Structure 1
Amino acid sequence: MNRVRGAGEGLRGRRGRVHGRRGQAAGRSRRFHSLRAKLTLVNVALLALGIVAATAVSLIGMRHYLLENVDAELTSSRTSLQRTGLTLKQIESLSELGIALDKLSPGPNSTDAGASSLPRNETVFVAVDRAGEPIPVGTLRPTARQRDLASAVDDPKALATADEPHDVTVHGDPYRAVGARLADGTTVLLATSTANVQTGIHKALRLDIALGTGLLALLAVLTMIGVSHRMRPLEDMVETASAIADGDLARRVPPHHDTALEVEQLRLALNSMLHQVETAFETRERSSAQLRRFVADASHELRTPLAAIRGYLQLYDKGMLRDPAERARALGRVHAEADRMSRLVDELLTLARLDQGPELRLRNVDLSRLVREAADDLRVQQPDRPVQVAADGALLVRADESGLRQILGNLLANVRTHTPEDAPVSVSLERVDGTVRLCVADEGPGLDEEDAARIFDRFFRAGGGAGSGLGLAIVQGVVSAHGGEVSVRTAPGAGVRVTVVLPGGGGPVGSAVAEAVSRG
């Protein structure tokens, strides 16, 4: 058993090491494929191409310039020699007279060893016969270098007639050579070593490679630093997104100095999106809480009439209601609770339709007429209540008539239910700054600040009063559907004043809440 456990642990250890190596390889791969590394590689590659192109152009130009100087000297020497019109005999005579020929030959005292150690940039002079073999000039015998030059040139006559010098290789060394025809037909070969040119080009190439390598390294470092600085806002965005994923919805991308315009625009757009996300999340949480509370309140409100109906039905089923008067009273209570539950369901359906943003049947409605009719209904229901109406004349608004009747009916029903029958009530209507303002004020007991803050909540009844607690919630829904606002002002002992403000032209609404409010 211990051996099996040890083998399992060893296998897990090997798997852990394999996963660790894979993780390290994945990390290196991510670093290589990061935007910072790619930008650095692109900049270094572009600079390397530029350095290579510039080095190639400069070296080609340098070689061309140096070879032009060598060719100019050789061409000038050949032209000077041909213009003299001398023959080989005359050159030998001049040599015997002591005229120096050091510009045309290695010198009278040169030996093979001395000729082979001449500076590479000196001109080698050799006269050749018709067969291309070197011939002596006076007492000067051809040196090894001169013989090598003569053997390196395949066709001395063609070289003498050529307009420009040609490249030849003398004993492994590069030379530029020209030919000259003397008056007696002898061909003279002149060659200048270009080894110094090649050496200079090689030194320049090594210098360019060293400087280019240094520039590439410097550019790579500066690019990494610069890109890291420029990429900092993007890293902050990643950190912000990670923090938001962990639940910190208030996190935002901080601003940076000297950021690129596109990055700043991205930061602003991302912060705006995060603000919308946070707002939507809060709205969803608030809606969820309201929905839970609404379901709980609705269940509680429906449970009461259902319990009463079930109780009376059980009494009837068990035969405990023998007296006709008791049966009549029980049947009346069942009907009353059923009506109460029906009204509650209708009000809930009305609120549900209002929550879906219904369309309104808009037309011109005389709101003053509706106010006077609602006040007359209240006088009939409660003859002892003083009712004052300030809505003379006609005041047309473009709205849904059923919705307006629902607003007036619920406001006055709220007064009728929660105030004494002798408490005065006033209803006023006026047009102010392009809006229509409806005020319903009573002189009842009023509400404290805590109850006033919840007066438009669904199923809220101050002090546990009568009713379903949905009347003012429906008022708020209908007013909002019309694009208006509703507010309340109250204090203990100062009554309640509800103000409804509607747009003068009906507001930005559509058409058909009548079905929703008519059923309420």
Structure 2
Amino acid sequence: MTFLRLPPLLRPRGIHSLRGKLTLANVGLLALGIVAATAISLMGMRHYVLGQIDTELTKSRDSLARSGLTMQEIDSLSALTVVRDRLLPHSGGDSPNPDNVFAAVDRHGTVLTIAGLKPTAAQQALAAAVDDPAALVKDEEPHDVSLRGDPYRVTGARLADGTYVLLARSTGVLHTGVAKALKLDLAVGTLLLALLAVLTMISVGRRMRPLEDMVETSSAIAEGDLTRRVPSSKETTLEVEQLRTSLNSMLHQVESAYRTRERSAAQLRRFVADASHELRTPLSAIRGYLQLYDKGMLTDPDERKRSWERMMAEADRMGRLVDELLTLARLDQRPELRFRNVDVSRLVRDAAEDLRAQQPGRPVAVRADGALLVRADESGLRQVLGNLVANVRVHTPADVPVRLGLEREDGVVRLCVADEGPGLKEEDAARVFDRFFRAGGGAGSGLGMAIVQAVVAAHGGQVTVRTAPGEGLTVTVTLPARGHC
């Protein structure tokens, strides 16, 4: 199973990537904030400026209404400027777009002359914009009107003789200010959005570098580099670092499982090949003798007896080999052992007695004083001792001394079987627990030490060897001391 590794330039960088989505989210949120802040600020400015204009218009209207003047009194004044200076000191006069407009109208809305002066275009436009002067006077709040395309706020007052006076003030400054403020806010907001987008892309790029490393690592592992790990990054967050640590731990477990599977598969292939070879030898011998018998070549009774004995010996050898293979297969499946308190000292003495009976001339020394109980499977321990003793019996001369020792130390029990035979080379000692391995092509099936290791491992212990050419072989079995003396 492999994955396609994309070059850095071909990796997704569009708006559908996580980097693009985070950038769009940040820019969108800032844009909403800028729009809301701009709207609130413009509304506040408009409310403030209109409030100032309305306040000035209301004061002028109230002052004129309380004065008690009539149109004749106003007309009899020596100069209109006196009235204007009294009422509207900043009147725009006849300018095309005056800031302040003052007009006197009758109840029908007709503009009246003041001091013989002809009404200006602004005054006429103001009168035309107000449909009902009486309704305007009754309304306490000024109204919005448009004079020749310019915005104004207008209010009115009624004189003592029934004449209506219209007062208007331009709000063009307000609209101009709002437009300028809006343009400034848009320019600054656009600059901020662009700056935020760039900073977000840079920041998210640094923060997402560990994720890109994880993608590269996964691709490298898929291509066969099982030793690849996600490197640590300076720019990272707690969550990403936890993900990196967990991923590296998982990759370590995957690599270990893969190595174990490969090793197990290799061992299985070697085991099947060795087992086939070991079984082929006795079968070939038996088949050969049977062919001789079938062809009538075994005419001598002694030859037939010797052939029969050889076939029985090969059959026994094949039976022992099958039994040992079944034992190893059962141990590989980790069966339930029958644990109980076992006196290991007694088992050691029994193994020594068996060896003395089989080889009376071999010196056998036993160091196992008193009873030493452990929680173990008795048949399994007997098989361990039997295989170790048989290994000494088969691979060493009959007069080589053997020592069997047993001791308890630091919560473990150590069982030692040592001989003073020829010993093993370093490369042979490294393979002594391999199945079907026989040092120097010696006798036996080559499964004895493998069974010893499997049984000891099933008891939660371990077995080690110490040897050198000419210095003998020492096998030490260490078991947990679960029992009591």
Q: Under a length normalisation based on structure 2, what TM-score does the superposition of the two structures give?
A: 0.94
Structure 2 partner of 1:437? 414
Please give the residue correspondences for 1:109-508 in structure 2 after superposition, counting only pairs within 5 Å: 114-115=94-95, 117-119=96-98, 122-505=99-482
Q: Report the counterpart of residue 76 of structure 1 in structure 2.
A: 59
Quickly say closer, same or farther: Cα 1:133–1:372, change in 2 above 3 A: same
Cα distance in 1 for residues equivalent to 2:92 and 2:228: 94
SS of aligned partner of 1:178? strand
- Greater Cα offset, 370-379 or 181-190: 181-190
**Separation in structure 1 between the aligned mates of residue 351 and residue 160 of structure 2, nearest angstrom:** 140
Question: What letter is aligned with 1:296?
Answer: A
| Closer/same/farther in 2, CA of residues 416 and 239 from structure 1, 3 Å limit | same
Counterparts of 2:436 and 2:14, CA distance in 1: 60
Q: In structure 1, what is the Cα distance between the partners aligned to 2:73 and 2:343?
A: 138
Aligned-partner residue type, residue 201 of structure 2:
M
| SS of 1:99 mapped into structure 2 | helix
Residue 50 (structure 1) aligns with = 33
2:3 is matched with which residue?
none
**Cα gap change, 1:313 to 1:290, in 2 (>3 Å):** same
Aligned-partner SS, 2:76 = helix
Q: How far apart are residue 171 of structure 1 and its match? A: 2.4
Distance 1:220 1:319 in 2: 100
Q: Which moved more, 1:310-319 or 1:497-506?
A: 497-506
Contact 2:80/2:115, CA 8 A, preserved across alignment? no
Per-residue deviation, residues 408-431 of structure 1 (Å, max 9, x unmatched)? 111111111111111111111111
Letter in 2 for 1:348: L
Query: Percent identical across equivalent pairs?
Result: 72
- The aligned counterpart of 2:22 is 39
Q: State the Cα distance separating 1:90 from its structure 2 match.
A: 1.8
Report the equivalent of 1:518: none
In structure 1, what is the Cα distance between the partners aligned to 2:88 and 2:178?
A: 28
Map 1:78-93 onto structure 2 (within 5 A).
Answer: 78-93=61-76
Letter in 2 for 1:50: G
Q: Is the 8 A contact 1:123 1:193 kept in 2?
A: yes
Distance 1:448 1:107 in 2: 120
User: Shift of residue 475 of structure 1?
Assistant: 0.3
Shift of 1:296: 1.4
How far did residue 30 of structure 1 move? Answer: 6.4
The superposition leaves residues 436-469 of structure 1 with CA deviations (integer Å, 9 ceiling, x where unpaired) of: 1111111111112111111111111111111001
Q: Distance in 2 between matches of 1:108 and 1:402?
A: 123
The residue type paired with residue 363 of structure 2 is: P
> What is the deviation of 1:172?
2.4
CA-to-partner distance for each residue in 1:18-51, whole Å, 9 max, x for gaps? xxxxxxxxx7986231111111111111111111
By how many angstroms is 1:109 displaced?
A: 11
**Superposed CA offset, 1:168-200 (max 9, x none):** 122222111111122223221101111221111
CA distance in 2, matches of 1:99, 1:228: 74
Instruction: Answer yes or no: is the 8 Å Cα contact 2:92–2:100 preserved in 1.
Output: no
Q: Relative to 1, partners in 2 of residues 1:367 and 1:195: Cα closer, same or farther, differing over 3 Å?
A: same
Give the equivalent residue in structure 1 for 2:6. Answer: none
Q: Compute the displacement of 1:300 (Å).
A: 1.1
Give me the TM-score of the superposition, normalised by structure 1. Answer: 0.88
What's the offset of the Cα at 1:108?
A: 11
- Across the two proteins, how many residue pairs are aligned to each other? 475
Cα offset for 1:56? Answer: 0.8
Superposed CA RMSD: 2.0
Q: In the aligned structure 2, how far is the partner of 1:418 from the partner of 1:98?
A: 140
1:85 partner amino acid: G
Query: Is the 2:92–2:101 contact (alpha carbons within 8 Å) kept by the matching residues of 1?
Result: no
Whether contact under 8 Å (1:179, 1:190) holds in the other structure is: yes
Indicate how the Cα distance of structure 1 residues 383 and 123 shifts in structure 2: closer, same or farther if over 3 A, else same: same
CA distance in 1, matches of 2:180, 2:81: 42
Counterparts of 1:318 and 1:155, CA distance in 2: 144
2:370 maps to a residue whose letter is G
Partner SS state of residue 463, structure 2: strand
| Selected match of 1:61 from 40, 44, 48 | 44
3-state DSSP class of the match of 1:127? strand
Give the drift of 1:98: 7.0
- Distance in 2 (CA, whole Å) between partners of 1:363 and 1:105 is 118
Distance verdict in 2 for CA 1:105–1:323, change over 3 Å: same
Cα distance change of structure 1 residues 330 and 109 upon mapping to structure 2, 3 Å threshold:
closer
Is the CA contact 2:417–2:474 (under 8 Å) kept in the aligned structure 1?
Answer: yes
Question: 2:264 is aligned with what amino acid?
Answer: S
* SS of structure 1 residue aligned to 2:64: helix
Matched residue SS, 1:31: coil
Q: Which residues of structure 2 form unaligned runs of 5+? A: 1-9
Change (3 A) 1:243 1:157: same
Amino acid across the alignment from 2:477: V
User: What is the rounded CA distance, in whole Å, between the counterparts of 2:269 and 2:52 in structure 1?
Assistant: 98
Contact 1:103 1:123 in 2 (8 A): no
1:184 aligns to what SS in structure 2?
coil
1:516 alignment counterpart: none
Cα distance, 1:212 vs. partner?
Answer: 1.2
